[in-house]
Amino acid sequence: MAMNMIQKRFMSSSALQKWIYNLSGFNRVGLWRDDLLLETPEVKEALRRLPEYVIDERNYRIIRAAQLSLEHRILPKDQWTKLEDDKLYLTPLVNDVIKEKEERKQWENNH
């Protein structure tokens, strides 16, 4: 009985996540969540660390989204980015850069 409640809660949470993801709209032009990060110094450093082919893929998605936006169009629904296909390719690197900055600052304060 308790397991069914947990499963239902998890399923509804997953359904809610998909609903919110689709409501955001960026997936309708083929963007991924990490494509939307503001280019702070930490994000710029993380981008510098990515392989060139990942940068090329990111640039293609951004250019295509900009073109679609200019034309006031969206992709056909079968080409929308799905939550399960959206990879956080940049966030882990950004977190590493932030952690490195904090460690460097602590080290400089202690030495």
The pLDDT profile of the chain, 111 residues, written as one tens digit per residue, is: 454 544 455 445 788 899 999 999 999 999 999 999 999 999 999 999 999 999 999 999 999 999 999 999 999 999 999 999 999 999 999 999 999 999 999 999 997
Residue pointed to by tokens 């679609």: 68
The matching CATH number, chosen from 1.10.260.40, 3.40.50.300, 1.10.1090.10, 3.30.1660.40, for 25-110 is 1.10.1090.10
Q: CB of 33 within 8 A of CB of 86? A: yes
What's the pLDDT score for residue 4? 52
What is the number of other CB atoms lying within 10 angstroms of the CB of residue 94? Answer: 20
Distances (CA, A) of 36 to 8, 17, 27: 31, 18, 11
Cβ neighbours of residue 46 closer than 8 Å, sequence gap 6 or more: 90, 93, 94, 96, 97
Residue pointed to by tokens 């460690």: 103
Sign of CA dihedral 26, 52, 41, 46: positive
